[in-house]
Amino acid sequence: MASLTTNTSELPKNTKWIRVTGSGLPECDGVYKPSEAPEKVSESGTKSSIGYWNGKMAWDRADGKAARNPSLSYSNSYKSWRIARLDGHLAYTIVNDDALPTTTTAWDVYKKGVAPAPKIEMFESDPRFGDELPKNTKWIRVTGSGLPECDGVYKPSEAPEKVSESGTKSSIGYWNGKMAWDRADGKAARNPSLSYSNSYKSWRIARLDGHLAYTIVNDDALPTTTTAWDVYKKGVAPAPKIEMFESDPRVKPNVVFVLGGPGAGKGTMCSLAKNQLGWEHLSAGDLLRAERNDPNSKNGELINNYITEGKIVPVEITVNLIKSAMSKIQKETGHINFLIDGFPRSIDNYEGWVKVMGDDANVIFMMLFECPLSVLEQRILGRAKYSGRKDDNIESLRKRFETYKNETMPTVNIFESDGNLVKLDSSLKRTEVYELVKSKLAPYTDPAEAGKPLTELSEMHLGLRPFPKKKKKMT
């Protein structure tokens, strides 16, 4: 068979899937999906394109475990198809110039392989079913429909296994081999309510009565969120906007405010909670600096003007930055636990939070790191040796500590009077302080995260191993 053209603009989309079975090296068995490896130049000097390698279709392991992508591809140099082990070394090969991997002729065991060579099967769609498929954990929000009943949150489908209109057997969370969703409010007559059609090669959204309202024609693995959908027979313009989330977007984030004097260890403990406990760490100061330096920011110039004129940035801007950051993280990761470092620093800050955030977040408590000024002075002087911060000196520290007492403590008092203040003695050893932090966050921490062994970075933060020395610049 003639080989495919290497003109990437003329190549048809790779939509084929492969199943490898019977390998003497079981790690090579499994399902392989159309390659998503980025464009690059291969070992033979041929420029690849998405789904291709050396001008022929190529595949990645569908379970994502391989170090080498594509894991099943063609070599121009050796005129052969090859399958790689998980570590990237080649295990099986067959010498020919066929347009697609051979499924009827026996393959050969290569240098890093183990006999016997595997059997290759090719499919027009994902052949995985049931337990082979990754669990559908994604959620979808539909908004702006001309037919408001289609708006709302959609959860991973719980529809029982059955055969679809195209003859494909479905499994929990899937329909026609792709993920599918039910309405989270349970009002729909049709489940799944948002799914893929093999017959029409399109994603579709159903009305409450089950009739189709909106559709988009493509073969994407997930519903399109960036391209406009079309109004179908039973729909009403305009077509909706689709957003995808890694967890239920209706769940409010949990927030712990973290305060303490300069050098009290807030940043260190927040980093540990992020690395070891799965909590997200947001610093109000860092968010403002990032926004200020972002050339595409709507607020950057405004923030710069306030700072240049020596004025305080309106708290509404700060809170909206925090709110936006939490929303983005929750959408992309599914994480709902947040430590807000260095906020609220004043009564004005707290009132701004209440005004902007309202009931959109659960403020669990405020965590206050208490530490005597004498200890803070020792820490700041120690930090000054490597931090490069202009305010890491005794004079600046004492001014900052006075400001902290005068402006921040009234806010702390509000939380204390409401019974929502957790005080921690941060003059203790870092390992002891971390255990206190861990225990206070435990009721909201994922047990799987809490049970992880310490990473090297965490051991450095806890003083259990030294940070690597910075290399001196050559002069």
DSSP sequence for 244-256: EESS-TTSPPEEE
Q: Which CATH number fits domain 254-461: 3.30.930.10, 1.10.286.10, 3.30.70.890, 3.40.50.300?
A: 3.40.50.300
State the pairing for strand pair 119-123/17-21: antiparallel
**Rounded to an integer, what distance in angstroms lies between the CA atom of residue 142 and that of residue 312?**
38
Torsion of CA 279, 284, 289, 292, to 10 degrees: 120
Quick count: other Cβ atoms within 10 Å of Cβ 332?
Answer: 11
Please write the tens of the pLDDT for every residue from 123-178.
988 888 777 888 999 999 999 999 999 999 999 999 998 887 777 788 899 998 89
Quick count: other Cβ atoms within 10 Å of Cβ 129?
Answer: 14
**Residue 435: strand, helix, or coil:** helix
Q: For residue 250, what pLDDT is reported?
A: 94
State the pairing for strand pair 178-179/181-183: unpaired
Residue 110's Cβ-side half-sphere holds a number of Cα atoms within 13 Å equal to 19
Please write the tens of the pLDDT for every residue from 192-203.
999 999 889 999
Q: For residue 380, what pLDDT is reported?
A: 76
Quick count: other Cβ atoms within 10 Å of Cβ 138?
Answer: 18
What is the Rg, in whole angstroms, of the alpha carbon atoms belonging to the chain?
Answer: 28
| Residue 317 φ then ψ, to 5° | -65, -45
3 pLDDT exceeds 50?
A: no
**What average pLDDT does the chain have?**
90
Q: For residue 6, what pLDDT is reported?
A: 46
Burial (CB count within 10 angstroms: exposed 0-12, middle 13-18, buried 19+), residue 107: buried
Q: For residue 27, what pLDDT is reported?
A: 96
CATH 3.40.50.300 residue ranges of the chain are 254-461
Q: For residue 398, what pLDDT is reported?
A: 79
> What's this model's pTM, rounded to 2 decimal places?
0.74
State the DSSP code for 170: P
With beta carbons less than 8 A apart as the criterion, state whether 269 and 375 touch. Answer: no
**Rounded to an integer, what distance in angstroms lies between the CA atom of residue 303 and that of residue 313?**
6
Average pLDDT estimate for 416-436: 96
Average pLDDT estimate for 245-266: 93
Lowest-pLDDT choice from 103-107, 123-127, 161-165, 276-280:
161-165
Closest among 338, 388, 385, 346 to 363, alpha carbons compared: 338
**Rounded to an integer, what distance in angstroms lies between the CA atom of residue 317 and that of residue 304?**
12
Q: For residue 10, what pLDDT is reported?
A: 73
**Rounded to an integer, what distance in angstroms lies between the CA atom of residue 199 and that of residue 329?**
36
Where residue 22 falls (left for φ over 0; alpha for ψ -120 to 50; beta otherwise) is: left
State the pairing for strand pair 80-84/72-75: antiparallel
Please write the tens of the pLDDT for every residue from 193-235.
999 998 899 999 999 999 999 999 998 989 999 999 999 999 9
